[in-house]
Amino acid sequence: MKNFYITTPIYYVNDRPHIGHSYTTIAADVHARYHRLRGESVLLCTGTDEHGQKVALSAEAQGIQPQEFVDEVAGSFQQMWQRLHIDYDRFIRTTDPAHMATVQHVFSQLRESDDIYLGEYEGWYCVPCETYLTEAELTDGCCPECERQVEQVTEQAYFFRTSAYADRLIEHIESHPQFIQPKSRRNEVLSFIKEGLRDACVSRNRMEWDIPVPDDESQSIYVWFDALINYLSQVGYPDELDEFDKWWPPQIQLLGKDILTRFHATLWPAMLMALDLPIPEMLFAHGWWITDTGDKISKSKGNVLDPYEVSQELAEISGATTAVAVDSLRYFLLREVTFGLDGSFSRQALLSRFNADLANDLGNLLNRTLPLAERYLNGVIPEPGPGAGELRDEIERIRTQVEQEITQSNFSVALMGIWELLASANKFLDTRAPWTLHKESKQVELEAVLYDVLDCIRVVAIMIGPFMPKVSDEMWQQLGLQSAGIEKSWDDCCALELPSGITVAPGRPIFPRVDIKRAMDRLRADSKEQPEPAAADMISIDEFEKVELCVGTIVEAHRIPGADKLLRLVVDMGEADTRQIVAGIAQQFNPRELLEVQVVVVANLELATIHGVESHGMILAAGANEPEALVITDSKCPPGTIIR
């Protein structure tokens, strides 16, 4: 039996499950269900990424323990997947002891093989200038500013030798055209690698809520290193070798385009090369959903969509069951947009697909055929008879197409194919007009025609199963196949496999048609009743207060060798030590004229390293692109004065 192993990324628990996570996971579920229908042994893995300082801080903000916090969020992901009919096999959490052991094992092993080494983050330090310098910045081994001797600093961290694998990565990507999909992403990755890879720093100063580096209590393992290894620990690496050998490597790893280049397409395969393990067969990076006004859907914009809420809203508007509405959303997400490209989400588009594709084409076909069977055949599926099988070629053609397209993750094209088959069935019914045959008492022909259409609906029910599992079940039920105990199998996607003698069981329309105009009016009215507090671009006073602005006095200003736009400023902010800040103002301002100037500093901006120099803040300047004027105080203030 063939084995099929597919993964989604594990989702960071700092966020609630939204449409982006759901999109990836639904797509993975489609693959998994398809392969199960083919009788293969399938492993679909997903999970949550639960380490990192952000998690600890979020927990603290809610006044609960980190463990309590991650349990809660991991639970909300599991609940969402259940609600969206996602039939995953394993749900891994990076706080699982087994996973943590695997991460430490891998770390130790790579350290032993010298793929991970202890290095210095900054390299060189000029004491008088208080500056960290990289090898490339030194002039004759001395500080480029003061030309004095520099010292090597011993701020240690662990590095993974990504750079050592650059050539092998390029070779692998070029010789495996299927490895990175879609093709445009593959080009991006190649050019990224060819520009030169830097070794990845895979440890951080020890934090409580992290995995410690083995035998080094001062360091924690970097969350990305931790997270990527989930794909290995899911399948029992390194201890359960039988299990591991059964599944490794994954056939498909699905992910969003944002985490392809730096992590899944470089660090990850390089780690596997270092471990001497086979590389996954395919990484597929899909696009993002944006709103119909073109905005990215994000937490900060407050336009995050909860897919279950959207489904419930659709259920309410249409009168469909929640299960059918969920499947309709699944259909929409995979049909509306080419997998790999960005797509825009709107209620209008969802309702339009619901009516045009689901209610009119699919639902109506079922709903016109079953009553015919009841009326003319007493609801009993007849023998195919000699005239039956007229849709055989069409079924055969579509089946082949759908198989190819699903394998290539071309879900929208696969669905278009199934809808071609539906159109053929609708047309066939019209052309052969069983109601006329009945009037003319052509019973044999009548039975053949109805048999063919019912048979075709059966095939469609199987083929949409991966996309809309509950709708598929409902169709199976109405065809009477459920009660007859017939199992669905992809192999039965061919003509004349419908067993005769079964009694059909028509139900209420699965997809009740929506009056889109009225529905949209209602939705608009609803959204007026509870006015969204904010035009998406506005922020609250609370959000503003997160930004810490202070007065700072520039006490030193230096050019940075090799960087013609940057100045390295040393700023007195009334703190025990001065701060080093990098600013992109070298083309507008001379270092000398900046001395003693009091500027506005964003004090709580996270650390950034620009051109190899650390920057502990940002100074404010006017000008959208180029800095035109510095924001300064109009009279002398003590350094560190709060601005608000």
Q: Look at residue 252 and give its three-state secondary structure.
A: strand
Question: Whole-angstrom distance between the N-terminal and C-terminal Cα of the chain?
Answer: 67
Nearest-CA neighbor of 578 among 547, 596, 553? 553
Cα–Cα distance between 196 and 199 in angstroms, integer?
A: 10
- Phi and psi at 48, nearest 5°, equal -130, 145
Q: How far is the CB of 512 from RNA (least distance, A)?
A: 5
Between residues 258 and 491, which has the closer beta carbon with respect to RNA?
Answer: 258
Span interacting with RNA, options 71-79, 106-114, 136-144, 368-376, rule CB under 7 A: 368-376
Site for RNA in 298-357 (CB under 7 A): 336-338, 341-343, 352, 355-356
Between residues 106 and 630, which has the closer beta carbon with respect to RNA?
Answer: 630
Q: How far is the CB of 258 from RNA (least distance, A)?
A: 6
Q: How far is the CB of 571 from RNA (least distance, A)?
A: 11
Query: How many residues form the binding site for RNA (CB under 7 A)?
Result: 63
- Of residues 212, 250, 269, 363, which one binds RNA by CB under 7 A? 363
The b/e string for 379-392 (b: 16+ C-beta within 10 A; e otherwise) is bebbebbeebbbbe
Span interacting with RNA, options 90-98, 144-152, 493-501, 504-512, rule CB under 7 A: 504-512
Span interacting with RNA, options 20-28, 163-171, 561-569, 588-596, rule CB under 7 A: 561-569
Site for RNA in 156-215 (CB under 7 A): 184, 187-188, 191-192, 195
Between residues 338 and 477, which has the closer beta carbon with respect to RNA?
Answer: 338
| Site for RNA contains 430 (CB under 7 A) | yes
| Site for RNA contains 563 (CB under 7 A) | yes
Q: Are 103 and 211 in contact (CB under 8 A)?
A: yes
| Site for RNA contains 372 (CB under 7 A) | yes
- Give the pair of three-digit tokens for residue 385: 């008879």
| Site for RNA contains 136 (CB under 7 A) | no
Between residues 35 and 161, which has the closer beta carbon with respect to RNA?
Answer: 161
- Give the pair of three-digit tokens for residue 240: 């359960």
Cα–Cα distance between 10 and 228 in angstroms, integer?
A: 9
Between residues 116 and 372, which has the closer beta carbon with respect to RNA?
Answer: 372
Q: Are 163 and 116 in contact (CB under 8 A)?
A: no
- Give the pair of three-digit tokens for residue 584: 């992109």
Q: How far is CA 122 from CA 126, 156, 609, in A?
A: 11, 9, 10
Q: How far is the CB of 556 from RNA (least distance, A)?
A: 15
Between residues 67 and 587, which has the closer beta carbon with respect to RNA?
Answer: 587
Q: Are 292 and 348 in contact (CB under 8 A)?
A: yes
DSSP letter for each residue of 475-520: HHHHTTTTTTTPPP-GGG-STT-SPTTPBP---S-SS----HHHHH
Residues that bind RNA (CB under 7 A): 184, 187-188, 191-192, 195, 257-258, 261-262, 336-338, 341-343, 352, 355-356, 359-364, 366-369, 371-372, 423, 426-427, 429-431, 433, 435, 509-513, 562-566, 581-585, 602, 605-606, 608, 610-611, 615, 617-618
